[in-house]
């Protein structure tokens, strides 16, 4: 697989699902799950093979054959920035604007990038820059090298330099946006995408990417119109549908979120995350049986998905089916044992069942994993009170009170004081 080719292909905005985590002594809310990360779109296997074929033919000294192969096999609707760039190089070579030697040496650098030899590629590109000061194609690949090395501002500088020569190049805009995204400068990434939209106002992926970035910035209202614009261009465009569903989810407009998740599931089984988020929406609507149905489907789709078992436990707890909740949490923790919240909720369930020693063990595991987990201290205080161990109860209730004071939660402070005073 191409290291550079993957990073330089068009970024697709999928969606960013943040966990919904509670911090009360009750079972925390159901989690939603990230369906995928904001990343470079993986090229199709056919595109990868074509890229490799062209590089090999150039390195064998047959630029004309590589050019013919690209013209013959490149899909008309291809959105591959790499293949588009190859085509530009060959067009300029055919017109005599660049020498064959330059093309061959440039592809040697590209071959090193494909193999992950970034420093070797950099040295080759630097040599080209010095020997061919009037050429510009190498700047595109300098940006790739710096991106691979994690030097994202340098990548931006070289991509901008390339845009000075080719101001409409989509790949360069996407490289710049990707660099800002990697630096977590999401607002700047949005600016770059909007800059590109002025040049190409019908680019559905750009609309979708802007929407996804607004979700990262926790601005779901701003995300919606951009996702809708993408869907107006292509109603079955999955990334935009995912973003739109998540935006409504974040706005607590759960019926609308469900509608869009159902659109996704109507075509085919998508992935466990969609079923989990459908369940989350139904949970918030207190339609627990529907939530159970979708969580069961998520587990069928992905039996090792810890979040699905966690959410299953949360739904069972809401239905006051504590044995089933315990079983679900324990399964989730077996898959992901570093989950402090999972242990806290397990402790809550054991306390509800009157299994206080197991509750103590679960809460202490929570604190071991997350020393500042407020609900675990409160839970321990209540559990020791139920066991009649008032010194231990007051010990943990005091810690809980101090933590609540830090959050200026006067109501909980008064509640903790009352619990401590009643333990004699």
Q: What is the pLDDT of residues 184-216, one digit of tens each?
A: 999 999 999 999 999 999 999 999 999 999 999
Q: Are 375 and 23 in contact (CB under 8 A)?
A: yes
pLDDT at residue 218 is higher than 80: yes
- Name every residue whose Cβ is closer than 8 Å to that of residue 103 and which is 6 or more positions away in sequence: 58, 63, 89, 90, 93
Q: What percent of the chain has pLDDT over 70?
A: 89
CA-only gyration radius of the chain, Å: 27
Q: What is the pLDDT of residues 370-390, one digit of tens each?
A: 999 999 999 999 999 999 999
Q: Are 74 and 87 in contact (CB under 8 A)?
A: yes
What does DSSP assign to residue 42?
A: P
Helix (H) or strand (E) holding 226: helix 220-233
Q: Which residue has the higher pLDDT, 295 or 45?
A: 295
- Burial degree of 371 (CB within 10 A; 0-12, 13-18, 19+): exposed
Evaluate the CA torsion angle 191, 18, 204, 144 in order and state its sign: positive
Q: Are 363 and 343 in contact (CB under 8 A)?
A: yes
pLDDT class of 31 with cuts at 50, 70, 90? low
Q: Are 313 and 332 in contact (CB under 8 A)?
A: yes
Phi, psi torsion values for 272, nearest 5 degrees: -60, -35
Q: Which residue has the higher pLDDT, 14 or 131?
A: 131
Q: What is the pLDDT of residues 264-301, one digit of tens each?
A: 888 666 678 899 999 999 999 999 999 999 999 999 99
- Burial degree of 265 (CB within 10 A; 0-12, 13-18, 19+): middle
The whole-number average pLDDT for the span 393-407 is 93
Q: Residue with structure tokens 């079955």?
A: 236
Residue 321's pLDDT is: 96
The whole-number average pLDDT for the span 216-239 is 95
Q: What is the pLDDT of residues 89-145, one digit of tens each?
A: 999 999 999 999 999 999 999 999 989 999 999 999 999 999 999 999 999 999 999
CA distances from 218 to 84, 181, 238, 393 (A): 34, 15, 21, 39
Q: Are 211 and 224 in contact (CB under 8 A)?
A: yes
- Name every residue whose Cβ is closer than 8 Å to that of residue 15 and which is 6 or more positions away in sequence: 34, 35, 36, 212, 215, 239, 242, 243, 245, 246
Angle at 156 between CA 111 and CA 102, to 5 degrees: 35
Decide if 1-217 and 342-424 have a common fold.
yes
Q: Are 380 and 368 in contact (CB under 8 A)?
A: no
Alpha-carbon distance 227 to 242, whole Å? 9
Q: Which of 263, 272, 267 is nearest to 297 (CA)?
A: 272
Q: Are 296 and 267 in contact (CB under 8 A)?
A: no
Q: Which residue has the higher pLDDT, 420 or 23?
A: 420
pLDDT class of 27 with cuts at 50, 70, 90? low
Q: Which residue has the higher pLDDT, 284 or 10?
A: 284
Q: What token pair was written down for 178?
A: 């990707």
* HSE-up of residue 282 (Cα within 13 Å, Cβ side): 22
* Beta bridge partners of residue 12, listed in sequence order: 39
User: Under CATH, domain 342-424 is a member of which superfamily?
Assistant: Tetratricopeptide repeat domain (1.25.40.10)
Q: Are 312 and 288 in contact (CB under 8 A)?
A: no
pLDDT class of 12 with cuts at 50, 70, 90? very low
Residue 4's pLDDT is: 36
Helix (H) or strand (E) holding 339: none
pTM: 0.81
* Beta bridge partners of residue 40, listed in sequence order: 11
Residue 269's pLDDT is: 60
Q: Which of 385, 386, 340, 334 is nearest to 363 (CA)?
A: 340
pLDDT class of 10 with cuts at 50, 70, 90? very low
Helix (H) or strand (E) holding 107: helix 100-114
Task: Collapse the DSSP code of 337 into the 3-class scheme (helix H, G, I; strand E, B; otherwise coil) and give the result.
Answer: coil
The CATH number of 1-217 is 1.25.40.10
Domain residue extents for the chain = 1-217, 342-424
CA distances from 305 to 152, 309, 334, 353 (A): 34, 7, 11, 26
């Amino acid at each position: 697989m191409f290291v550079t080719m993957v990073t330089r292909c068009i970024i697709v905005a999928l969606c960013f699902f943040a966990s919904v985590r509670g911090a009360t002594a009750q079972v925390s809310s159901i989690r939603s799950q990230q369906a995928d990360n904001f990343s470079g779109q993986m090229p199709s296997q056919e595109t990868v093979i074509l890229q490799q074929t062209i590089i090999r033919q150039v390195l064998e000294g047959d630029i004309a054959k590589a050019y013919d192969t690209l013209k013959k096999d490149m899909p008309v609707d291809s959105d591959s920035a790499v293949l588009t760039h190859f085509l530009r190089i060959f067009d300029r070579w055919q017109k005599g604007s660049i020498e064959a030697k330059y093309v061959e040496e440039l592809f040697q650098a590209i071959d090193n990038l494909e193999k992950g030899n970034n420093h070797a590629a950099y040295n080759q590109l630097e040599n080209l820059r010095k020997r061919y000061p009037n050429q510009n194609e190498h700047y595109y690949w300098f940006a790739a090298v710096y991106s691979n090395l994690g030097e994202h501002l340098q990548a931006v500088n070289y991509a901008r330099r390339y845009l000075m020569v080719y101001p409409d190049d989509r790949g360069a805009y996407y490289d710049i946006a990707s660099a800002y995204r990697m630096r977590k400068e999401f607002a700047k990434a949005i600016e770059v995408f909007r800059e590109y939209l002025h040049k190409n106002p019908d680019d559905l992926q750009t609309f979708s990417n802007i929407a996804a970035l607004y979700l990262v910035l926790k601005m779901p209202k701003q995300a919606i119109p951009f996702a809708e614009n993408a869907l107006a261009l292509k109603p079955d465009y999955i990334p935009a549908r995912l973003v739109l569903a998540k935006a409504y989810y974040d706005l607590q407009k759960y019926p609308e979120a469900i509608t869009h998740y159902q659109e996704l599931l109507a075509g085919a089984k998508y992935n466990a995350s969609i079923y989990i988020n459908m369940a989350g929406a139904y949970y918030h609507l207190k339609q627990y049986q529907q939530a159970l149905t979708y969580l069961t489907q998520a587990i069928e789709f992905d039996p090792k998905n810890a979040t699905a078992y966690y959410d299953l436990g949360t739904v069972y707890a809401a239905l006051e089916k504590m044995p089933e909740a315990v079983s679900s949490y324990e399964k989730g923790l077996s898959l992901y044992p570093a989950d402090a919240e999972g242990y806290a909720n397990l402790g809550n369930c054991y306390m509800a069942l009157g299994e206080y020693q197991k509750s103590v063990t679960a809460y202490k595991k929570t604190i071991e994993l997350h020393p500042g987990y407020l609900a675990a201290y409160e839970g321990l205080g209540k559990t020791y009170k139920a066991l009649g161990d008032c010194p231990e109860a007051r010990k943990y209730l005091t810690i809980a009170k101090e933590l609540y004071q830090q959050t200026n939660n006067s109501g909980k402070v008064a509640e903790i004081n009352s619990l401590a005073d009643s333990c004699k």
